[in-house]
Chains A and B, each alone.
Chain A
Amino acid sequence: MAIVETQKLTKRYGREEALKTLDLLVEAGDIYGFIGPNGAGKTTTLRILSTLLAPTFGKAFVDGFDVMKHPYEVKKILGFMPDSFGVYDGMRLVEYLDFFGAAYKIPRKKRRSIIDDVLQLTDLASKADDFVSTFSRGMKQRCCLAKTLLHDPKVLLLDEPASGLDPRARIEMRELLKTLRKMGKTVVISSHILSELGDMCNRIGILEHGVLIKQGKYPDILDEIRQTREIRLVVLEGAEKARKVLEETTGVLNIDSSGHEFQFETNLPYDALADLHQNLMGVGAKIVFFEEVKGTLEDVFLKVTKGGL
């Protein structure tokens, strides 16, 4: 069941067309990776979905609610973490969260325990009484995420949540998103750090120049993009014999070797690959590794997008 959906979504800024008839589909429970180069229209899409921006044409729905007709209902079930945001001077973290809790109409009696929970979840409990304005970039990101989670939204829209974070903070943010996934949240996440998205997204959408050029389950897109498999072979002995076998096998392409290590592309089915493995062992090659090199989101991204602004 689609929880986030757009139909022919179009947004123009003057003559510039930021989004061109975008048809986005995110199902409940998805971790949807929304990727694309700078200026592709990702932030515009997220801002329309979060009721902050009116589309020029087309419709957007969140949990069945039209974002333009029922913004209040959408806000109840949606948490949006913008790419850039400010914090209030002179407010302590717990006061900041209490303010947003009140703004999200969370009853006062429940608010304190909810704040404690989100502080635990975002690992900010020790900073509860510190001024938000003194936080580092990473802590501000977490603070904003804590604010976004306060009203327990069904859908989370996260715009570049890991940008500007150091490696440890990124890893922690990734773990946090995995936790949210386990909690059953639907997360739409836009990011430039593709390797991190590949680990956690089950669906992806690739946007370029305002056009959604690919959308679907990540493994399906990977298969669709890659016509051949890439195999890595490492042998302890019999490297020359192994090379000869590979060169003689039909369907083995682009062999790249370096000493005892080979990498090649193949369109052979699994049973033919098993035969190849047997043949290699048969000629006396002592195999250490015979494995498929998994495709990455970077590969998909580079193959699908054309680049340029």
Chain B
Amino acid sequence: MATERPAPAAVAAVPRRQTFAEFLTFPSLAILKRETVNYMRQRKTALWLLLLVAAGIAYVLHSWPEEGLLINQQADNPGGRNASRIVFFGTGQVFLLGCMLLLPPIAASAIASERQQDTLVQLSVTLIRPESLLLAKLANTLGFFAMLVLAFTPIFGTLFFLPGVDAIEFVFVVVTVSATALGCAGLGLLASSAASNTTAATILAYLAVVFFQTSPYGVIAGLLRSGADEMAVPVIALVIYDGFLLAVSLVVARALLRFHVHKPVRVHQERVIDDAALLRVRRSTYPFYLVDPLRRKQPIGDHVNPIFIREIFWGLTRNLTNLIRITYTALAVFVLGAATAATFRGWYWSTREWMAFEIAAIVILIPPFVAGAFAREREVGNLDMLRMTLVKPRAIILGKTLGTASSVLCVCTAALASCVVLLWLDHESWALTVQGLVSLLVSAFYALALTMVVSVLCGKTATAILAAYGVLAAAFAGIPLGLAEAFPWQAFSRFLDHRDYAINVPHFDLKLAAFLSPWTAYATAEKTDAGSIYWALNCAVFSVAAALLLLLAARFFRKRRLQDI
């Protein structure tokens, strides 16, 4: 009969229950230290800090009143008070937006990347408990964000010159930003615990943040400009809401971590179906399949681009179910929106606004479809094998572009359907609708090409998606708005004023606006008689630019040693 052996001294030394202090520090401190050191070692961290400091300084300089701030007169100077409040609350809003944009991908990659690299298994067999792991990851995510916030110290330095801001308002803004950061980080960690890879986790985290955080953000962002008395209740409500969100996220994430450690392995084997009768039955059961995934695929033709065929038949059909859902959703949203726009023309949504919204929606949808084109191949280790084949870089880029464009085309079809509704309900604005549709296609092509370049340059899909959003934001909104702010353009100001944007700029060169992005071209197309000509030229220029970007991507693909050790 077996007798129980006494535990070795080393094992006996490990306490059976951790104290609270140990729970918070040991051994998750190891993870925290490792990740912090890792962040600090990366060049991109310094780059982020530099960029933010530069942006912060630029923002302060831009918002500084022309007459300057006289400290001793400041308290009695309404202009100075207003300037102070604009700088301070503007910064608060930037922080809130920063929480929603930056924290989801950082938190989403925290656990999903461990799972993807199979290191989560190694962590799970150590003494680190799931809750310690989550807290360490949370601390690390918030630490990274705090580091970025510290980069804004120059802006907060201006608080010495801001007597227009009450101390309690300062506290409210800090509490709001902190609560939002906690909520976003919690949602990101939840997505990270649930997803198998960083890409899925990032998309899931963004969706969760959009769903759970934008409404409170809208309320709070509006209240940030009001007085301290009106801010107290919503801020407290937000703190409770985000605290609850964080707690629920962590509890669910902890439960997920207990049984979702390994990379999921697909064990089911769906056999190929060659029987025509069986395929017909399946066709009636699954009528939405463009190509039945179980139908035996024909060999790839001799004179076709194999990359394109692979993207279509294996990329598109594999994600077909999700794609169909996205298409149907987009169709419903676009058609309903278009109908509303046409019905309430001049009151709520005009055709132009609606088409501008559709352009933005398509551009926002592109990164998840396209950013993984090369980044994913590189991530899973397929790129070398692709580069060893006889398919030339240009053909690879073309194949990937056509393949991903086909995915995007499904959503564009929804936009086309909404245009039909617009034309049916509002015959008068047919030119505007057609212009909108063409602008939408040009914008999609331009966005796709930009994302393709990003995908070639990035090593990870999640990074590629984030970088693509940054580039697209700069190309479609940042550059036009930045230039409008920087240079005195009257017409653009009028255009923005018309849409209730409070940007006061005296002059504007319409010709230039038409060439800033496909969106500005469409938005300003009917401002003058020559607007349509500028718009047409813009479409041509951006189509050519997109083609050149694809050539650039091919060049990067050929020249850049993508999988250098």
Contact = CB atoms under 8 A, between A and B. Distances in A.
Nearest to B395: A103
B299 A112 contact: yes
A147 B385 contact: yes
A84 interface: yes
Contact of A44 (B269, B310, B565): B565
A290 interface: no
Which of B267, B306, B318 gathers most chain A CB within 10 Å?
Answer: B306
Interface stretch (B58-66, B386-394, B451-459, B491-499): B386-394
A43 B563 CA distance: 12
B401 to A, nearest CB: 17
Interface string B272-309: 10000000000000000000010001011110101101
B424 interface: no
B67 interface: no
Interface string B378-407: 001110111111111000000000000000
A99 B561 contact: no
Contact of A95 (B297, B377, B565): B297
B265 interface: yes
A303 interface: no
A43 to B, nearest CB: 7
A232 B264 CA distance: 54
Interface in B240-285: 265-267, 269-272
Interface stretch (A22-30, A128-136, A265-273): A128-136
Contacts of A47: 565
A51 B392 CA distance: 13
Nearest to A90: B318
A169 to B, nearest CB: 19
A52 interface: yes
Contacts of A100: 385, 389
Given A98-B300, A129-B272, A103 B391 contact: yes
A134 B381 contact: no
Main secondary structure of the interface of B (DSSP, over half): loop
For chain B, which range describes its interface: under 10, 10 to 19, 20 to 34, or 35 or more residues?
Answer: 35 or more
B390 A104 contact: yes
A44 B565 CA distance: 8
Main secondary structure of the interface of A (DSSP, over half): mixed
A72 interface: yes
Contacts of B380: 86-87
Contacts of A99: 300, 306, 309-310
B300 A107 contact: no
Which of B304, B385, B387 gathers most chain A CB within 10 Å?
Answer: B385
B565 A43 contact: yes
Interface stretch (A75-83, A176-184, A223-231, A274-282): A75-83
Contacts of A89: 318
B318 to A, nearest CB: 4
A243 interface: no
Interface string A224-253: 000000000000000000000000000000
A43 B564 CA distance: 11
Contacts of B304: 102
B309 A52 contact: no
B561 A102 contact: no
A112 B314 CA distance: 19
Given A44-B565, A90-B314, A108 B385 contact: no
Contacts of A91: 314
Interface string A38-49: 000001100100
B384 A52 contact: yes
Contacts of B564: 13, 53
A89 B377 CA distance: 11
Contacts of A54: 561
A85 B301 contact: no
A114 to B, nearest CB: 11
B311 to A, nearest CB: 11
A100 B297 CA distance: 15
A130 B306 CA distance: 21
A51 B563 CA distance: 12
Contacts of B267: 134
A105 to B, nearest CB: 5
A216 B271 CA distance: 50
Nearest to B271: A129
A92 interface: yes
A86 B389 contact: no
B382 A85 contact: yes
A86 B388 contact: no
Given A95-B297, A99-B306, A84 B389 contact: no
Contact of B299 (A13, A88, A98, A151): A98
A102 B388 contact: no
A111 interface: yes
A86 B382 contact: yes
Contacts of A44: 565
Given A50-B388, A85-B381, A87-B382, A107 B314 contact: no
B396 to A, nearest CB: 9
A39 to B, nearest CB: 10
Nearest to A103: B389
A102 B302 CA distance: 7
A103 B390 contact: yes
A76 B266 contact: no
B301 A108 contact: yes
Nearest to B386: A103
B385 A85 contact: yes
B388 A130 contact: no
B142 to A, nearest CB: 33
A165 to B, nearest CB: 18
A75 B269 contact: no
Nearest to A50: B388
Contacts of B381: 82, 84-86
Interface string A129-170: 111011000000000100100010000000000000000000
Contact of A111 (B271, B299, B386, B561): B299
A123 B381 CA distance: 24
Contact of A75 (B389, B563, B565): B389
Interface in B511-565: 561, 563-565
Contact of A88 (B266, B293, B382): B382
Contact of A82 (B265, B299, B302, B384): B384
A286 to B, nearest CB: 52
Nearest to B274: A129
Contacts of B270: 131
A211 to B, nearest CB: 18
A130 B300 contact: no
A52 B387 contact: yes
Contacts of B307: 103
Contacts of A105: 390
Lowest 4 CB-CB distances: which A-B pairs, in order?
A: A86-B380, A86-B381, A103-B389, A102-B306
28 contacts: A18-B565, A43-B565, A52-B388, A52-B563, A53-B561, A72-B392, A82-B381, A82-B385, A84-B381, A85-B384, A87-B380, A87-B382, A88-B310, A92-B272, A98-B297, A101-B300, A102-B299, A102-B302, A102-B304, A102-B306, A103-B307, A103-B389, A103-B391, A108-B301, A111-B299, A131-B266, A134-B269, A151-B390
Given A103-B386, A108-B300, A134-B269, 15 more contacts: A47-B565, A51-B387, A51-B388, A54-B561, A75-B388, A84-B381, A91-B314, A95-B297, A95-B314, A108-B301, A111-B299, A112-B299, A133-B266, A134-B266, A147-B385
